[in-house]
Chain A
Amino acid sequence: MNIEKETQHTQSMWVKNTGRGGALTWLLQRVTGLFIVLMILLHFWINHLVGTGEVTYETVFRRLSHPLWKCFDMAFLTFALYHGLAGVWVVAADYVKRDGWRTFVYIAIVFAGIVLFCLGTITIVRFPFI
């Protein structure tokens, strides 16, 4: 195992590497995580424990027609996507060592985030699509 090669820091600007140390990501994981715990309990409660507990167009309609719930869902989507995808990057950064692949994985994660965020946003904001 070539320890020297694997622990060297690259100077390339094309590589998503430790650089500034990831302190902001570290902090945001904790902050978003805390919000998500609270939000997910409310989300689960309102969707599965109130009323019949089943999810139908009707039950969603009653909730998601309100701007406040749209706002809650948007915030939830943002926090959850950030937290989840940043987490994927943390894991990937541990196992993907080669420069080119690191960049590729990072871009793929950002791309997935953008696509998922757009899909979720359109669904939430434009509901009920009339």
Chain B
Amino acid sequence: MKPIFETRYKWKLGMAAWVLHRLSGLALIAYLCLHIFVIHNLAYGEQHFNAVMKFLGSPPFKLMEIGLLGVILYHAFNGLRVIAIDFWGGTKIQKALFWVMMAAAGILFVFGATPIARHLLEAMN
């Protein structure tokens, strides 16, 4: 049984960031496929679409939505780090850059997840 990672470096920050970038990317394209399918329900009229949205507004989905936001922000900000490394010689500062990007992502996460969490708590009461 061949190991999946045939070329594997030591577990360092950059390696972990890369692996997470790939995994988050795959998760996001899977989500995008679902999202396109869900939104196309607009074609079946107001009642149908609102029923679908109501179903997807239930607590387990709201929770997953918060998770989705996290995944998006990780992929986006690590992606910005990749761009900085590729185009602006960020290699030397790649580790620091990671934490700066994650801090920015964290701030946006709090900003974006709070309203969703509020809806979630209201719906559960």
Contacts and interface: CB of A to CB of B under 8 A. Distances in A.
20 contacts: A30-B87, A33-B79, A34-B83, A36-B76, A37-B79, A41-B108, A44-B112, A54-B53, A54-B57, A57-B53, A58-B46, A87-B26, A95-B4, A116-B32, A119-B36, A123-B39, A123-B40, A126-B43, A127-B42, A129-B45
Secondary structure at chain B's binding surface: helix, strand, loop or mixed? helix
Given A33-B83, A58-B46, A120-B39, 17 more contacts: A1-B2, A33-B79, A44-B112, A54-B57, A56-B53, A60-B49, A84-B28, A87-B26, A88-B26, A91-B22, A112-B33, A116-B32, A119-B37, A120-B40, A122-B43, A127-B42, A129-B42
Nearest to A80: B32
Secondary structure at chain A's binding surface: helix, strand, loop or mixed? helix
Contacts of B102: none
Interface residues of B, number: 35
A85 to B, nearest CB: 7
